[in-house]
Amino acid sequence: METMARVRALLLDVDGVLTTGEITYDAEGREIKSFYVRDGLGIRLLHLAKIPVGVITGRASAALRHRLDNLNIIHLAEGVWNKAEAVERMCGDMGVEPGQAAFVADDLLDVGGLETCGVPLAVADAHPEVIARAAAITRSPGGRGAVREICEALLKSQGLWEQVVGKLGA
pTM comes to 0.95
Q: Is 162 exposed, middle or buried (0-12, 13-18, 19+ CB in 10 A)?
A: exposed
Q: 101, 107, 106, 2: which is closest to 54 by C-alpha?
A: 101
Q: Of the CATH numbers 3.40.50.1000, 3.50.50.60, 3.40.50.1370, 3.30.360.10, which one belongs to the domain with range 2-168?
A: 3.40.50.1000
Confidence of residue 72 (pLDDT cuts 50, 70, 90): very high
Res 2: pLDDT: 60
Q: How confident is the model at residue 168 (pLDDT cuts 50, 70, 90)?
A: confident
pLDDT in tens, 92-132: 999 999 999 999 999 999 999 999 999 999 999 999 999 99
Q: What is the pLDDT, as a whole number, of residue 167?
A: 86
